[in-house]
Amino acid sequence: MRSHPLLKVALLSLLGLMLLAPFGCSTNPATGKRIVTLYSWEQEKQMGASAAAGLAEQFGGEIDEAIPSQYVREVGMKLVAGIEEGIPDLDWEFTLLNTDVINAFALPGGKVFFTRGLAEELDSEAEMAGVLGHEIGHVTARHGNQRISKQIGFNAILVGTAVAVGVADSDSNTRKYGQVAVPAVAIGGNLVLLKYGRDDESESDMLGMRYMVRAGYNPYGQLKVMEVLRDESKGARKPEWLSTHPLPESRIKAIRRYLDDTYSYTQNDPAFVMDEDSYRRRMLEPLSKLPPSPKSVPKPPADQ
């Protein structure tokens, strides 16, 4: 049977990626999973550093008030002390952004951003630790690197297939079926990548709770954060299947399972704190004395 040109190019592209994959395959210290990454930790640090300044400026810049900004850095570094052995020294920075957007996000290499809009919705240091721990989880699990690597691999196959369609005879089956197949594959492939992103978010929730507990915080704070996001998302959210993140309700269920099982021992132990007083004194009160944050900024990439 004669091989189909479209299939041949796709298989050759896939074979090339499979041959390259072992060179970037490793076991992630945070998750214990085998992952394929095209960039080293050092390259991740460079990527994060090159994007951090522009990103902060785009979303209102860092809060000038020293007390809340230092508070975010202090809690962030307290959580970093509990990350797994095998994660190299990264350029950890924790930035409180002056925007009313309710969100938090991280860049590869250790650049973590936490918005004033979200900070003002929280009630305790443990909740802030839940947000920052989640973002640290994205970094230690190398989610950004994995998503970039997967996108590059997927696009390589898609481009190779599209080239085969483009150079085929106008009356050939390759052109006839390829003009329909390539867009379909592109849509389907990107939905797979979106699903992968949702898995990242759930994995980061788990890692965030782990880092919270290691730092002495009550992981119940992570649940409280999800309840805030759930309340904020009402009336303006996409179906979960087409979203890059699980709906808050889905994450709340998973977090409750962790609280009832893995971290049940923390719920009646005063060693694991919420610390509402410190949060009110070092975050909410100083922020309340500042001018309102800018409202005319675009929404940042949603990681929480």
Look at residues 297, 103, 74 and name the one whose alpha carbon lies nearest to residue 201: 103
Residues ≥6 apart with Cβ < 8 Å to 40 = none
Residue 257 CB burial class (10 angstroms; 0-12, 13-18, ≥19): exposed
Q: Is the pLDDT of residue 190 over 70?
A: no
- pLDDT tens figures, 89-130: 999 999 999 999 888 888 889 999 999 999 999 999 999 999
Rounded average pLDDT over 133-154? 79
Q: Where are the domains of the chain?
A: 52-141+180-288
Number of helices followed by number of strands (H, E) in the chain = 11, 5
Tokens 């005063």 identify what position? Answer: 270
- pLDDT tens figures, 147-181: 776 666 444 444 444 444 444 455 554 444 344 34
- Cα separation, 151 vs 187, whole angstroms: 13
Look at residues 75, 73, 76 and name the one whose alpha carbon lies nearest to residue 62: 73
- pLDDT tens figures, 216-269: 999 999 999 999 988 887 755 544 444 556 678 888 999 999 999 999 999 999
Tokens 């694991």 identify what position? Answer: 272
Per-residue confidence (pLDDT) for residue 151, from 0 to 100: 63
Question: Would you place residue 70 in the very low, low, confident or very high pLDDT band (cuts 50, 70, 90)?
Answer: very high
Rounded average pLDDT over 67-83? 98
CB atoms near residue 130 (< 10 Å): 31
Q: Is the pLDDT of residue 21 over 80?
A: no
The amino acid that residue 34 corresponds to is R
Tokens for 86, please give them: 């095998």
Kindly list the distances between the CA atom of residue 256 and the CA atoms of 151, 208, 221, 229, in Å, as whole numbers in the listed order: 32, 14, 11, 15
Per-residue confidence (pLDDT) for residue 24, from 0 to 100: 63
Per-residue confidence (pLDDT) for residue 14, from 0 to 100: 44
* Mean model confidence pLDDT for the chain: 78
Length of the chain equals 304
CA atoms within a 13 Å half-sphere pointing along the CA-CB vector of 5: 15
Question: Would you place residue 303 in the very low, low, confident or very high pLDDT band (cuts 50, 70, 90)?
Answer: low
Look at residues 253, 249, 242 and name the one whose alpha carbon lies nearest to residue 195: 242
Tokens for 274, please give them: 């919420």
Residue scoring higher pLDDT (232 or 88)? 88
- pLDDT tens figures, 195-220: 436 788 889 999 999 999 999 999 99
DSSP state of 303: -
- Radius of gyration (C-alpha) of the chain in whole angstroms: 22
Decide: 87 and 30 in contact? Cβ < 8 Å.
Answer: yes
What is the pTM (predicted TM-score) of this model? 0.77
Look at residues 146, 237, 249, 152 and name the one whose alpha carbon lies nearest to residue 200: 146
Residues 209, 301, 99: CA angle, nearest 5 degrees: 90
**Residue 90 φ then ψ, to 5°:** -110, 170
